[in-house]
Amino acid sequence: MTRLLIVEDNPLNMELVFEISEAQGFIADRVENGEDALKKVENEDYDLILMDIELPGIDGIEVTKIIKSKYKNIPIIALTSYAMKGDKQRFLAAGFDDYISKPIEIHEFLRKLQKYNI
């Protein structure tokens, strides 16, 4: 089974991503902040992480850098409302493997997961 970690502090976005993931047959864990994400990654094996950028406490960019320093093979996709020109490149340069803008479009979300053979 494919395991996802959803790191999102907005309850509506979290529920949407969780419901889509579960409907596709994935096992998904959910956390609302960067500190909890780091704990989950230390204790569980994930095939992919969906990471919000703006989180309480440690932001998604810093969490991604920490995770990538220890677990380079886990793809991390940024979930963000930042959709200006250059934002995607900024997140890729920060260590994210990909980018999904909010509001989340189901078809785009599923296409990104397929890109990682998930």
> Would you state the structure tokens that stand for residue 8, as one six-digit string?
């999102």
Percent of the chain with pLDDT over 90: 81
d(CA 70, CA 66): 7
Structural domains in the chain (count): 1
Binned at pLDDT 50, 70 and 90, residue 87 comes out as confident
Tokens 């992919």, residue?
48
Binned at pLDDT 50, 70 and 90, residue 19 comes out as very high
Residues 93-107 pLDDT 10s: 999 999 998 899 999
What residue numbers bound the domain in which 99 lies? Answer: 3-115
What pTM value is reported for the model?
Answer: 0.94
Q: Which of these, 79, 71, 8, 86, lies nearest to 41 by C-alpha position?
A: 71
Q: What is the CATH number of the domain that holds 24?
A: 3.40.50.2300
Q: Which of these, 36, 63, 43, lies nearest to 3 by C-alpha position?
A: 43
Could you tell me which residues are beta bridge partners of residue 6?
A: 30, 50
